[in-house]
Structure 1
Amino acid sequence: MSAAANRRTALRLGAAGAAGGGLAMSGATPASADPSTAGVVAGPVFDVRRYGAKGDGRTIDSPAINRAIAAAAKNGGTVFFPAGTYTSYSVRLRSDVTLHLDRGATLLAAQPRDGKGFDAPGEGAGNPYQDFGHSHWRASLIWGEGLENIGIGGPGRIDGAALVRNMTPESPPGTGDKAIALKLCRNVVIRDVTIVRGGHLSILPTGVDNLSIHNVTIDTVRDGINVDCCRNVRISHCTVNTHGDDAIVLKSSYALGFPRATENVTIADSMVSGYDVGTLVEGTFGREDPLAADRDGPTGRIKFGTESNGGFRNIAISNMIFERCRGLALETVDGGLLEDVTISNITMRDVSNTPFFLRLGARMRGPAGREIGKLRRVSISDVTVHNADPRYPSMIVGLPGHDVEDVRISNVRVHMRGGLSMTEAAEQPLDLINTFFAEPGAREPYAVPDRPQSYPEPSMFGILPAWAFYVRHATGVRMDNVDVHFERPDTRPAVVLEDVRDADLHRVRLSKAEGAPTFVLRDMSDFALHQSRPVGEARIPGHVVHEEL
């Protein structure tokens, strides 16, 4: 590893809906199994072995599995997988059917061969307004479109061994890239399963209403749970490890051919992480691989976006653990509204970029004529962060003339590793910035480019001239009982507020390096600071061009 890479790595990582009911047997089901609790369907049980599945890890069992599903769909029922390894191509869900993988059962994605493989992506694949993987559903291990009352349950395993991570329209016929993909479905329960090697997207519901994902474990390279254009979603008691991409991500793409909001979502009592791939389910929790494919640190976070045509409304995130991964990212860059979001009771440890990233941008990947979106009414409270990357303060960043509005941050404690200075903010040294996102080259420290059309990522701005908070193009920022401190002195200002109106900070405690200002106010109007340290009180009711406190 080069000296530059060593320096970068050191800074990044630091030192350290069930339904019950009687079972009418249609196949041999062990007395210990209760498949009726796996999903939303009660009724007869259809054992896949009765329909020809071998479960020997060699035979392609998807034809037999699909026969069992067809039989169950006639009047509703549960398709039961006893212990064994069911090597398969596409499993085609139907309405009123639950798949139940019993303990010791694995549904294994088979390698395409002899002209056979996963289903073709289907009509409409390749919509240009989002990544190809979000534009099709059928090239998956399990898929369904236009269904209702469906379930997938464990305690068995789904192994996407043969699924690819970067499928394109030019990929060979038979290629698959998702473990579970659902389009325009309703009343869906996914619970108690483990998913490993999930391809590009382990779980992709698009346009799904009334969705519950409960007690699911995912260990994969790319996205874990990817909720797109969905309404009434409950994600709870999940453990999602995704070193190279986002763990739980909300999107509102144009994949359906029209914008549709993701709304009424709760994410609770779960853990996201960026351990080395496979080491979560192994129980070794590996920390050897320092970078994701985009050359930032391990991903594994909760994110809104980047696809954001339809927007995000009424979202509550609570009781979460972030471990060795990036922090929260709330992004709307394609014209959608992001509003009415509450985030509470979060702990983060070994954060590989910023704890909080709120970004209103103007990428506008969608049909022409859309207006820039809005980001407003966000509350973040009761958060503890330890060992965060010193290059990236928490950020609230809009655009000129398009402010982020009404953000409240309270009861937050953040430990930053520190150790940087305004020299790095001016020089933008190549060993510290990520040129995958940031523009290289020295600059005046406060001359941070707006980059309205760029892909949103905390590293997009390079080394910022603040170490605790960087707030730009915002209105109505409130902070109360916020404590941010560094381990080693950082001589950048703690907080920079630029083009901000109406900022009220109460009981804010910040570390201070000798000779460095705590606050820098630029093009600031109506600033108030109360009962804080090291600056106790300040009130600026008017406008200031540049003032340091």
Structure 2
Amino acid sequence: MFLQNDGKKAGLVMRMAHRQPPSHAGWYSVRDYGAKGDGATIDGDAINKAIDAAAAAGGGTVYFPAGNYPSYTVRLKSNISLYIDQGATLVAAAPVDKVGYDKPEPNPYDQYQDFGHSHWKNSLIYGEGLHDISIMGPGLIWGKGLTRSTNVPEGGGNKTIALKLCHNVTIRDVSVLHGGHFAILATGVDNLTIDNMRVDTDRDGFDIDCCKNVRVSNCTVNSPFDDGICLKSSFGLGYSKATENVTVTNCQVSGYDEGSLLDGTFRRSWRKYSDSTTTGRIKMGTESNGGFKNVTISNCVFDYSRGLALETVDGAILEDVTISNITMRDIVNSPIFIRLGARMRGPDSIPVGVCRRIILSDIVIYNADWRHGCIISGLPGHPIEDLQMSNIRIYFKGGGTADLAKRDVPEFEKDYPEPYRWGKMPAWGFFLRHIKGLDMHDVKVSTLMPDARPAFIFKDVEDKTINRVSPI
């Protein structure tokens, strides 16, 4: 569907005759406000005029008929829907002579999280303090001129969709290609629905940060260089706010070569990705000031990606999480990683966080990386509490040596929470440390080739119940 050569790619976008929206009030075609859709003219001013007109009338649908619409920042307003029709592409234009996207706003708290999490205005589509908005349609958003870097040049943009402190938001059906640092960054967004999207991007797919009442469903996210679907709770708003009441269901994540999801080739070139392996996983954490509560992840597929990661390392509470009906294949690091750490990137005087009441069930994993096994680790005096795992079947590659079985694993208390930083582990199946209240039943692990390490290592694990777990 899309080629990496820009000239060919532009030619692949369907050139359909200008099609008018449905003939009823409330629809505002960007063509009627001066947009050319010719792939060369910067149409941002016309798009924003259409949004202004719809907002002045009390709201409506801003319509993109077939065509290619290069633009800088599109500024959403309340009660507005963007509808990108079949054959229409909203293109992130490259800045020219430092002229381009809105400037990133100042944020006195940006030392507590990455640059991308501290600024929203320097994006292709931006909204703050809005309500009742949507981005919909079967068309494409192509972040062609966005940078994936946190070092954004003057006039540059690094996010496809960035929303801050909004509520009643729906993003549905659109596809995103090459989305920059974030295809979607939602911070402090409540009542958020993301449904039936296809995202094929060069860094994060969805970053859902400090949000409440969130539904992510029926989405396919390919992100070889960074995370696919990621829940976070940063300090970007200037205060701690939990990400809570979240469902992620019927989704697929992967780390194929960028562009090969949308063109249907699903390539795996084994090129050097982030930390030398592809990413593309579902994760909760890294930015973890506000915490995570009431989260359900179900009926999801991981293919050629990193595994599931649950992390709280900045003083937050992670609790009441249920994960079920998961399948994974060709996992490039730890398939299950649960970490309570003490990086403590946040304001002073925040205590170490809490990680408790987590249930993992009905999970099958094939061809998981041999180096790490599943890593579940709290800290001395700060155990992971009330962890249940059941009906889990994992096939690891195997191949570890007896020397690795003797390794004493450091606590990594202050480290960035990433499995590869733990190195080659002394257990090929599960390394479990600093846990209080562990219930494991009907868990079976095996290797595809011989491995000299033990399958399980338990260290400082209190009140454990182990039933029908093998080999052990």
Shift of 1:293: 2.0
CA distance in 2, matches of 1:78, 1:156: 15
Aligned to 2:398: 418
* Distance across 2 between alignment mates of 1:106 and 1:186: 26
Q: For 2:465, give the aligned amino acid.
A: D
Give the share of equivalent positions with the same residue, in percent. Answer: 55
Per the alignment, in what secondary structure is the counterpart of residue 281 of structure 1?
coil
Conserved? CA contact 1:135–1:255, under 8 Å: yes
Q: TM-score, normalised by structure 2?
A: 0.94
Matched, 1:478 2:454: no
1:189 aligns with 2:170: yes
Equivalent in the alignment of 1:81: 64
Name the amino acid aligned to 1:489: P
1:109 and 1:30 mapped to 2: Cα distance?
23
Query: Where does structure 2 lack aligned partners over 5 or more consecutive residues?
Result: 1-17
Decide which structure has the larger Cα Rg and report it: 1
Residue type of the partner of 1:285? F
Corresponding position: 1:403 with 2:383: yes
2:43 alignment partner, one of 38, 56, 61:
61
Q: Does the aligned pair in 2 maintain the 1:126–1:132 contact within 8 Å?
A: no
Residue by residue over 1:34-53, the C-alpha shift from the partner in whole angstroms, topping out at 9 and shown as x without a partner, is 9xxxxxxxx60000000000
SS of residue paired to 1:459: helix
Runs of 4+, deviation exceeding 3 Å:
none
| Equivalent residue runs for 1:294-305 within 5 Å | 294-295=275-276, 297-305=277-285
Shift of 1:123: 2.5
Q: Provide Cα deviations, 1:70-94, integer angstroms capped at 9, x if missing partner.
A: 0111211000000000000000000
Computed over aligned residues only, the root mean square deviation of the Cα atoms, in angstroms, reads 1.4
Partner SS for 2:366: strand
- Report the counterpart of residue 208 of structure 2 in structure 1: 227
Corresponding position of 1:356: 336
Aligned partner of 2:361 in structure 1 is: 381
Structure 1: distance between partners of 2:177 and 2:344: 34
* Cα deviation digits, residues 302-335 of structure 1 (max 9, x gap): 0011000000000000000000001100000000
**Cα offsets for 1:197-220 (capped at 9, x unmatched):** 000011000000000000011001
Residue 10 (structure 2) aligns with:
none
CA deviation after TM superposition for structure 1 residue 291, in Å:
3.7
Return the offset for 1:489. Answer: 1.1
Match of 2:52 in 1: 70
Who is 1:147 aligned against? 130
How big is the shift at 1:503?
Answer: 1.2
CA deviation vs aligned residue, 1:387-411 (integer Å, no higher than 9, x gap): 0001111111000100011111111
Q: Deviations over 1:94-127 (max 9, x none)?
A: 0000000000000000010144200001131771
Q: 1:49 aligns with which of 22, 31, 34?
A: 31
Task: Tell me whether 1:283 sits opposite 2:264 in the alignment.
Answer: yes
Match of 1:204 in 2: 185
Pick the aligned partner of 1:307 from 275, 287, 312.
287
Corresponding residue of 2:12: none
Contact 1:241 1:275 in 2 (8 A): yes
Specify the alignment match of 2:143 in structure 1: 160
Per the alignment, residue 305 of structure 2 pairs with 325
Alignment match, 2:421: 460
Equivalent residue letter for 1:156? G
Equivalent residue letter for 1:29: Q
Alignment match, 1:532: none
The AA in structure 2 aligned to 1:351 is: I
Which position in structure 1 is the counterpart of 2:20?
A: 29
Q: CA deviation at 1:446?
A: 4.2
| Contact 1:222 1:243 survives alignment (8 Å) | yes
What is the rounded CA distance, in whole Å, between the counterparts of 1:470 and 1:507 in structure 2? 18
Contact 1:103 1:155 in 2 (8 A): yes
Matched, 1:504 2:465: yes
Query: Deviation per CA, 1:157-194, whole angstroms, max 9, x where unpaired?
Result: 000011001133xx432110000000000000000000
Q: In the aligned structure 2, how far is the partner of 1:408 from the partner of 1:293?
A: 31
Deviations 1:438-468 (A, max 9, x none): xxxxxxx342100100000112221111111
Distance 2:429 2:154 in 1: 50
| Counterpart position of 2:8 | none
Q: Which of 133, 148, 158 does residue 116 from structure 2 map onto? A: 133
Instruction: Report whether the alignment pairs 1:365 with 2:345.
Output: yes
> Counterpart amino acid of 2:87?
G
Q: What CA distance in whole angstroms lies between the structure 1 residues aligned with 2:340 and 2:461?
A: 14
| Structure 1 range deviating more: 281-290 or 136-145 | 281-290
C-alpha distance in structure 2 between counterparts of 1:135 and 1:451, whole Å: 26
Unaligned runs of 5+ in 1: 1-26, 35-42, 426-444, 511-517, 519-549
